[in-house]
Amino acid sequence: MRIAIASDHAAFDLKADLRDWLIEQGHEVADLGPDTADSVDYPDYGYKLAAVVADGTADRGVALCGSGLGISMSINRHPAIRCALVSEPLSASLAREHNDANCIAMGARLVGSDMAKACLSAFLETDFAGGRHQRRIDKLSNPDI
């Protein structure tokens, strides 16, 4: 799977850890930055991530910041993105199964590396259920439906 990952400075170390782990799992990973732990603005990286998932360059996106809140808000501003903020695997799985989430967000100050990997595994291994959920997903990008 082609996965794009981005963070702010607070999640720089977690991003590097997850990037390397995803590569070990056999995924093609695009690290959208930042390249250092120097202070940056999370919306810049959220918007970059949203763009590559929305245009199909990446199949899924991983967004990280200190709490996961700010970057998830920025990435969800794109109408083609459904980013779920998660801190445990069940939410990550349900985000895919019920909401067809194409991005996952986590907070580096709230989840450790092992929990982040468990969330990411659940997210990547779960398929969208479709059916009754599809009409709701359609409304997320088209509120006038």
Catalytic residue annotation: 65, 98
- Backbone φ and ψ for 130, nearest 5 degrees, come out as 65, -140
User: Is 82 marked as a binding-site residue?
Assistant: no
Please compute, for residue 33, the number of CA atoms within 13 A of its CA located in the half-sphere on the CB side.
14
Question: Would you say 60 is a known binding-site residue?
Answer: no
Angle formed by the axes of helices 89-99 and 113-125, to 10°?
A: 20
What are residue 106's DSSP bridge partners? 64
Is 68 annotated as contributing to ligand binding? yes
Known binding residue 70? Answer is: yes
135 is in an annotated binding site: no
Cβ atoms of 101 and 136 within 8 Å: the answer is no
Of 113, 19, 125, which is closest to residue 62 (Cα–Cα)?
19
- 136 carries a ligand binding annotation: yes
Q: Say if residue 78 carries a ligand binding annotation.
A: no
131 is annotated as contributing to ligand binding: no
Token pair listed for 97: 């199964």
**Closest C-alpha among 127, 97, 124, 112 to residue 26:** 124
Q: Is 56 known as a binding-site position?
A: no
Q: Is the dihedral of CA 77, 78, 84, 85 positive or negative?
A: negative
> Which residues are annotated as part of the binding site for D-ribulose 5-phosphate?
8-9, 66-70, 99, 109, 132, 136
> Which residues are annotated as part of the binding site?
8-9, 66-70, 99, 109, 132, 136
